[in-house]
Each structure stands twice: as structure tokens, then as C-alpha cells.
Chain A
Amino acid sequence: MNHESSTRTPTIQHDHAGFARETLKPPSFLAACMLVVKRNLIHIRRMPELLMDVTIQPVMFVLLFAFVFGASIDVPGSGYREFLVPGIMAQTMVFSSFIVAMGLVSDLEKGFVDRLKSLPIHRSAILVGRSISSLIHSSIGITVMALTGLAIGWRLHNGVVDAVLGFVLYLVIGFAMIWVGILVGSTFHSVEGVQGFMFTLIFPLTFLANTFAPTERMPDALRFLAEWNPVSALTQGARELWGNGPPAAPDAAYQLQHPVLFTFAWALLITAVVAPLSVRAFRRRSRD
């Protein structure tokens, strides 16, 4: 114990740590967000298995689909492996909502949000910080898949600008999916609940699309759903920008004729609808 004196000094705070607490200035909003990001990245370093969903799993998917199904799925133009990589990248990006939701529900349940709330920083720093670290998380996944893709024959055919624009499409959808993650994470009260809900949401969303197989030979109703799926716009957009597949069939849904434009539109729409809902859900959850 370290008391300089045992006399009561009710109004003057001891300066025992060598700073006057009156002069303390809480960090700026951005600095607070970066502190949250740093803390989240320490979590990944302590529990590398957190990264399995963006490393081992997608690589497994690439290899399974490329070598197990690849031979029997016929893709016009480029080979199946080139066709596959943008699809699996899209799936990984959609999964960023899952990563956000899992992180957020555990921060809420384990008291980290409470701890932050008792400190003189803005509460939304936790959301922004969580979003940034999740984008970093997903970007690691995209990088891992790009490297895996390169190893099995996937290439970027259309120059630097289109290549970069392709990656921007993924980031834009990733941003929109973060809001979905915040909504789900603020709504459920356990990691198990989030897991159950997200798997039922994400699997149909990423499989009922052009991600793993062309849509042309699907039954009509299914094809309609698959071709109007936002994930299909993203995948088709990246394939066209990177030269990994032919343009959509003339009878395909309208959005697949303009996939890049529609990807941006979907990201905007999802964000506009879900962001206010998720902020409200988070505030309600963390208020009382």
C-alpha cells in the first residue's frame, strides 16, 4: 500500500501518480476508435483460431470446389478455378457481418461495453472500432484467398484500375454487412444465438447465387432469386472487372447486366435501411 498521508483531504485529490487529473483530456473520437481496434487485434493475436473463418475455411472451400466439383461444373470462357475465386471472396465478405456480430455480442455480454461506457469517451467508438477491425479481419481473408487463387491459376486480366475497383466492390459490400452484424449482435444475447441465426442467413444468401455455379441452368424460380441476390451482383462485377468470367447471359436479370453499379446500389440500400436500425438496437441494448 502506498499512502502518502492518512489525514483526510476530502476535496483535494492526491497527485500520487504524478499527474493532475484535472488536466486529463479524453482521447479524440478517432484515437478512441483506434484504441478499440488495437484491443481487438490483440484478441486475434491471443486467439489465432479467430482467424480460421477467413483463412483455413475459405482455402478449404477453394480447394474442395476447385478439385471436387470443378471438373463437373462447366463454365463458358475462362476455367472454373478463375470463375470460383471471386465467388468465394464474396462469401468471405458476407461473413464479415458474422464476425462483427460475434465480437459485439461477446463485448456486450462480457462487460467490455459497460467498461467503455463508464469512461469519458463516445460510446459509438466501440462500433466504429469493431467495424474497422472486422474490415481488417475480412481483408486478411481476401488476401489469403487471392494468394490461394494465384496458386491454382486465378489471374487478374484487365489491368491495375479494374483490379483495384474489383477489390473496392468487396470493401463496399463488407461495409454494408457490418451494419447487419451490428444489428444482429445487438439483438441476440449469446454467441450461440448469433451463430445459429447467422448460419441460417448466410448460407442461403451465399449459395443461392452465382458464387459457385452459373445460374443459367437453375430452375426458373431459383434462378430469379439467385440473379437478384446482391451477392450475385458483387460476384459478377468482380468477375467482369478481373476478366474471370463472361458477361451475364442476355436473358439474365437486369442487375447482372450492370453488376458494378448494382453492387454500389445494394451497399447503399442495405446501409441506409440497416444502419439506423442497428444504431437504435445498440443504443437500446447498451443504455439500461
Chain B
Amino acid sequence: MSSPAIEAIDLVKRFGDTVAVDGVSFTVPAGSVLGVLGPNGAGKTTTVRMLTTMSRPTSGTGRVAGHDIIKEPEAVRRSMGLTSQVATVDELLTARENIRLSGRFAGLSNAQVRRVGDELLERFSLTEAADRTAKTYSGGMRRRLDLAVSLVATPPVLFLDEPTTGLDPRSRTDLWDVLRGLVADGTTLLLTTQYLEEADQLADDIIVIDRGRIIAQGTPTQLKDATGRASVVLTVTSAEDMPAAEAAVRRVTSEIHLDPAGRRLTARARGLADMLAIGEAVSASGVAIDDLGLQRPSLDDVFLHLTGHRAEDDEASSEPTLEEATR
């Protein structure tokens, strides 16, 4: 395979005394999806802004589609699309005009921009609203338009900074489908998110950033396994069978949590083998069960395990957000 689509090489960014990004390095193979996970103020946006030439690194560098972000910013901008955290659609222009304007800036001819524009409007379900000013759009429509605008020159590398923040669940899953389609077409994706489920759904690899540093990386499964906290959840048919079920499970593992009201029994397990053993033990004891399943830790658990705090309740963090840091 050719060189990676995105490379970060020891990126550092300081705003005055604050170190927003503190030596971040990673590579994203062409055609894959990297999820950058972390709470507000962790340095996700600043990392994206450096890689997309929007902000100059204090030190370190990076490459996008093989082009150095410091020495060849023009070439980088020609190879990538960016959807920022804050929507950048022009509210007084229509969807068609927004797409047209960016397309012309990217070097498309009038005829090309018309053709691509129609296709993008269709793909993002904006055809009906195409000639209304973006001011009248819902949050989800604005997001979709923002993404459409970023795609006008079919960039091989796409950066998405919290693409679904503030969207309702339906719009979010719709957007995920669109992103999967782009990846199927060969686009390399880097997306930052605070939503662990989102990274889990879309990313091939994940890096977890906290306070400007990478604190973990791997596939979603690797990260979950690293916490070693899979569990087997067993639901018995009748609450009276709980003690019998507990006795059966205890033959496999001793760490058991009982939830009598839910007729549920949760046991710490190392993996699938433990679940099968528990199934056999319970079956041998003759207890009737409604459900048996293996529960891998969520990325929420992973984050808690790695940082000691939850991913989304970081409002009180001492780290300033990018916006605060630049004022």
C-alpha cells in the first residue's frame, strides 16, 4: 500500500501558557477511518485544525495525502475536505449557492459544479430545500449541507470535527450511513467525537486523547478488551431460581452481582469461553432462563477505566476549550 493518508508527527500546540496538544503522533492508512475520542478541551479540535492547515503547530508536523502541512499547505488544502465543529454554511445563501461557491473556489467549472451540486443535494436529501436560504434549515440540514460543501471537490481525505454534535438520533444515524458510503467509495476519514458509540460504529481504529496527549489507541475491540471487564448477563425465568442459578455460576466465577428485581445476574467473565461454561453449568442445574449473553464493556467504560473520569461530564475541567484559549 502507498503512504498513509494522514500522518501526525509529534504535533504540539501552545496557546500562551496552555498546552492544548502535547506531542500527538499517529497514522491513518488510506481508505480507513480513525476515530479521535476525548472530552471537551482534550485537544481534538486543535489537532484537526493543525492537520488541516487552519492553525500552525507550535512544533511537530504532519502529512495529508503525502503533503507536508507546513511546507505545502496549498497541496494539503487541495486534497482534503473539512467539516468544522461550528457549521460554516453561509446562512444568507441557498444550499445550491453554498455548494457552488465552494466548488468554484476549489477550481470546478460552472458546468462541473452544477453536476456535482445536483448529485450532492440528492445524496444529502437537500434537493427540495436546495433553493431556500440556509437560514431556514434545521440543525440536521445545516450539518448535511456543511458536509456536502466539504465534499464538492471529492477530496480523498476528509476531516470531520464532531460531525453529529447537537443532532437528534435519527439525523445522526442518517449521517453515519452517508459516512459509511464515503468510506466504501475509498475516502479516508478522520472524525473526532465525544460520543463513544459513534467511534464504535464508524472507526477502524481509535485514539483516545485526554489533556493533549494520546492515552490509548487500538481497534474498538482491543480497547474494550484492554479493560478486561467483559461480563455475562443471565436472566432467570422465575425469581425463586436466583439462589440456584447463583450457585451454578459460582462454579465458573466468583465475582457475581445480583439484581433480584430484574431477575438478573451479572458475572465477571474473561470472554466467550466463560459464557459457554456458565451456560452449561446453569443448564445442568435445571434452572429455566430467559436470556444469556456476553456484554463487552462500552467505550464509556473504557474511558472511565483509562482516565478515571467519564467522557462527557468534563464541563468543569480546567482545560480551556479552543475558543477560550484563543480569546
| Residues of chain A whose beta carbon lies under 8 Å from any beta carbon of chain B | 1-14, 16-19, 21, 24-27, 32, 35, 39, 42-43, 46-47, 110-112, 114-121, 189, 287-288
- Nearest-Cβ distance from residue A31 to partner chain B, whole angstroms: 8
Determine if B54 and A120 form an interchain contact, defined as CB atoms under 8 angstroms apart.
no
B52 contacts A by Cβ under 8 Å:
yes
Question: What 0/1 readout, one digit per residue, does chain B (194-236) give for beta carbons within 8 Å of chain A?
Answer: 0000000000000000000000000000000000000000000
| A3 contact set on B, CB distance < 8 A | 181, 184-185
Q: Which residue of A lies closest to B150 (CB)?
A: A118
Q: Could you jot down 8 A-B contacts, CB within 8 Å?
A: A10-B1, A10-B30, A11-B186, A12-B186, A19-B108, A114-B54, A119-B102, A288-B15
Q: Which residue of A lies closest to B20 (CB)?
A: A288
Do most interface residues of chain A lie in helix, strand or loop, or is the interface mixed?
loop
Determine if B78 and A120 form an interchain contact, defined as CB atoms under 8 angstroms apart.
yes
| With A114-B84, A288-B326: A120-B93 Cβ-Cβ less than 8 Å | no
Determine if B185 and A35 form an interchain contact, defined as CB atoms under 8 angstroms apart.
no
Determine if B105 and A121 form an interchain contact, defined as CB atoms under 8 angstroms apart.
yes
Determine if B91 and A189 form an interchain contact, defined as CB atoms under 8 angstroms apart.
no
| A6 contact set on B, CB distance < 8 A | 184
B27 contacts A by Cβ under 8 Å:
no
| With A26-B78, A189-B327: A287-B56 Cβ-Cβ less than 8 Å | yes
Q: Which residue of B lies closest to A7 (CB)?
A: B184
- Nearest-Cβ distance from residue B142 to partner chain A, whole angstroms: 11
- Nearest-Cβ distance from residue A13 to partner chain B, whole angstroms: 5
| With A35-B105, A120-B77: A19-B88 Cβ-Cβ less than 8 Å | no
- Nearest-Cβ distance from residue B99 to partner chain A, whole angstroms: 12
Determine if A46 and B133 form an interchain contact, defined as CB atoms under 8 angstroms apart.
yes
Contact of B156 among A5, A13, A121 (CB under 8 A): A13
Determine if A24 and B101 form an interchain contact, defined as CB atoms under 8 angstroms apart.
no
B309 contacts A by Cβ under 8 Å:
no
Determine if A10 and B86 form an interchain contact, defined as CB atoms under 8 angstroms apart.
no
| With A13-B186, A14-B154: A39-B90 Cβ-Cβ less than 8 Å | yes
Given contacts A13-B156, A111-B88, A114-B86, 13 further A-B contacts (CB under 8 A): A1-B123, A1-B178, A10-B2, A11-B30, A13-B154, A14-B185, A17-B116, A26-B74, A26-B107, A32-B105, A42-B97, A43-B92, A118-B84
